């Protein structure tokens, strides 16, 4: 059990047109067990009434980047002092179980704090009324840079990380596109061979509703949506944005620098036989069998 009095967490909650579910989330943060925290808000736009509510719960409200949720999270994180032990991303429409922070910090405390460390995991899915409707996918393969290049395994709403990770994420370039702050976090930490713990036990009740920007990635409809993004070029655009960001820190990496260069070569290679050999030799992978079959197809058709 950690000594909560000696550890303090900065929680980053980003809002835009937040209303129906915000108060329930704020209360779930307030009810976190045995943890000292400060709540920081990245405001991309909300009503005066919501701002009044936020002021009652938060330490400081920052004006958001107004260029999407990913940039809002990263720009807000950059504004927070480096005086906290840990940092946590938080969505406005979820519900945290009361031991979320305590549980995550107990795990993170086992790692060398000088290295970037990241806690993330599954979520319990709930509907608009708070009824449980399932779980996010359970991934069992080891988190790694080889995986992060082609897949994000956990939502930012589950992520908690140490100061070394915060300093690493400060290198993200706000002048470049940011598709997803959680994918970039996984990518940056794994690139530097940081500690990553993927938790099979959900500590976030992830709300699925009409205005949800991401939503569940379960079911046939979600699969078809992902397939469309692959073949209309969206997926490749996302990879482009990620690689542009990660290129700024790869000179600092050791083992993974060679992997990064080989991945760039794979994307540029036109000869199918050489492309397949490169794909096999690099060893990039997704977390499921069907995901790896899809990855092979994407490589063949130049969709990554």
Contacts of 278 by beta carbon, 8 Å cutoff, 6+ apart:
262, 265, 266, 269
Q: What pTM did the predictor assign?
A: 0.93
Beta-strand runs (E) in the chain: 8-15, 36-43, 60-63, 86-90, 95-96, 117-121, 124-126, 132-135, 160-162, 195-199, 204-207
**Phi then psi dihedrals of residue 48, to 5 deg:** -55, -35
249's tokens: 């820190």
Q: What is the pLDDT along the chain (304 residues), one digit of tens a residue?
A: 556 558 999 999 999 988 889 999 999 999 998 899 999 999 999 999 999 999 999 999 999 989 999 999 999 999 999 999 999 999 999 999 999 999 999 999 999 999 999 999 999 999 999 999 999 999 999 999 999 999 999 999 999 999 999 999 999 999 999 999 999 999 999 999 999 999 999 999 999 976 654 555 555 555 566 556 655 768 899 999 999 999 989 998 888 999 999 999 999 999 999 999 999 999 999 999 999 999 999 999 999 9
Query: Which 8-state DSSP code applies to residue 249?
Result: T
Beta-strand runs (E) in 158-275: 160-162, 195-199, 204-207
Burial (Cβ within 10 Å: 0-12, 13-18, ≥19) of residue 267: middle
181-220 burial code (b ≥16 CB/10 A, e <16): bbbbbbbbbbbbebbbbbeeebbbbbbbeeeeeebbeeee
Domains defined for the chain, CATH in brackets: 4-207 (3.90.550.10), 219-300 (no CATH)
């Amino acid at each position: 059990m950690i000594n909560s009095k000696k550890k303090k967490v900065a929680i980053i909650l980003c809002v835009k047109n937040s209303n129906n579910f915000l108060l329930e989330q704020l209360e779930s943060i307030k009810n976190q067990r045995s943890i000292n925290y400060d709540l920081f808000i990245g405001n991309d736009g909300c009503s005066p009434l919501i701002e009044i509510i936020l002021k009652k719960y938060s330490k400081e409200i920052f004006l958001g980047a107004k260029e999407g949720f990913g940039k809002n999270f990263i720009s807000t994180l950059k504004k927070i002092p480096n005086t906290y032990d840990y940092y946590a991303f938080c969505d406005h429409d979820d519900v945290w179980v009361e031991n979320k922070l305590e549980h995550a910090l107990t795990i993170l405390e086992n790692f060398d704090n000088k290295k970037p460390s990241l806690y993330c995991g599954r979520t319990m899915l709930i509907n608009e009324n708070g009824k449980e409707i399932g779980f996010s996918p359970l991934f069992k393969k080891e988190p790694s840079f080889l995986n992060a290049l082609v897949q994000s395994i956990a939502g930012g709403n589950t992520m908690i990380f140490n100061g070394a990770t915060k300093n690493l994420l400060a290198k993200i370039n706000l002048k470049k596109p940011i598709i997803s702050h959680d994918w970039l976090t996984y990518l940056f930490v794994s690139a530097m061979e940081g500690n990553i713990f993927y938790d099979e036990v959900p500590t976030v009740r992830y709300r699925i509703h009409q205005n949800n920007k991401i939503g569940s990635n379960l079911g046939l409809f979600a699969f078809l949506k992902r397939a469309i993004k692959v073949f209309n070029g969206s997926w490749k655009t996302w990879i482009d944005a990620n690689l542009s960001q990660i290129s700024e820190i790869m000179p600092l990496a050791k083992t993974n620098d060679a992997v990064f260069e080989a991945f760039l070569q794979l994307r540029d290679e036109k000869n199918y036989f050489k492309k397949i050999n490169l794909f096999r030799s690099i060893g990039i992978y997704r977390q499921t069998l069907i995901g790896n079959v899809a990855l092979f197809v994407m490589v063949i058709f130049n969709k990554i």
